[in-house]
Amino acid sequence: MDGLTLPEGLELRRDEQGLALVADGVELRGDFARMLPRLRPDRLSKELLVRAARVRGVEKPVAVDATAGLGEDSLLLAAAGFSVVLYERDAVIDALLEDALARALDDSRLVDVASRMTLVKGDSAKLLASMDISPDVVFLDPMFPERRRKAATNKKLQLFQRLERPCDNETELLQAAMATYPRKVVVKRPLKGPYLAGVKPSSSLMGKVVRYDIVVPRTS
């Protein structure tokens, strides 16, 4: 696409299925339709992220996904009733996500959920400071360096990781999230990975390969 700089060997290609990142015969594209089974109420309520992000007594909760990627976590939050602001700093990933959202808005099965998702391009550590409201939840899933080795057999994930850099500003990112005065910050981490920026969470939900650390800011 015009105006986007891609690493050598990567190409953006548009076909009848939408925009895709292509390299060595592997295609990566945002595809919210494939997540429809996970959006069923009986399954959605069991999603660890949804359980970690749940807030009580809020009629229209607002979440910020500060590391949006291809937006799948944001889709789960939106399906759970959140209005979600998605921040993505990489221009190529942003283009893939924008295309996926546009297709979801044209899909009768997804339009209600997708309409609660707003994409903003830029560095969330800076954009969070310009928010004019306090979100109920800030969700963080920064790239973790060890994932590169563990995901060696996942070619699509390898393709994604050629664009997204491991997080090198953990402290700045977490402080920016906390500075919005949310009810909680939810951090997705590898199951045995260290705490983000070394900050011990208030609680954690453990999955088979990941965990969700929940940091509740002090109110005084």
Cα angle at 210 between 110 and 97, to 5 degrees? 35
At residue 149, the pLDDT reads 45
The pLDDT tens digits of the residues spanning 95-105 come to 999 999 999 99
3-state helix, strand, coil in the chain (%, to 5): 35, 25, 45
Q: Is the pTM higher than 0.85?
A: yes
Instruction: Report pLDDT for 3.
Output: 64
- DSSP state for residue 107 in the 8-state scheme: -
pLDDT reported for residue 219: 65
Q: Is 93 left (phi over 0), alpha (psi -120 to 50) or beta?
A: alpha
Helix segments in the chain, DSSP class H:
41-44, 48-53, 72-79, 91-105, 111-114, 124-127, 147-150, 155-161, 170-178
The two structure tokens encoding residue 72: 């799948």
pLDDT (tens digit per residue) in 50-89 = 999 999 999 999 999 999 999 999 999 999 999 999 999 9
Residue whose C-alpha is closest to residue 196's, from 215, 181, 210, 180:
215
Cβ partners under 8 Å of residue 112, min gap 6 = none
Three-state DSSP class for 48?
Answer: helix
- Selected residue with higher pLDDT from 175 and 150: 175
Q: Please check whether the domain covering 11-215 is classified as CATH 2.40.320.10.
A: no
**Band (163; pLDDT cuts 50, 70, 90):** confident
CA–CA gap between residue 60 and residue 83 (Å, rounded): 7
CA distance 7 to 98: 20
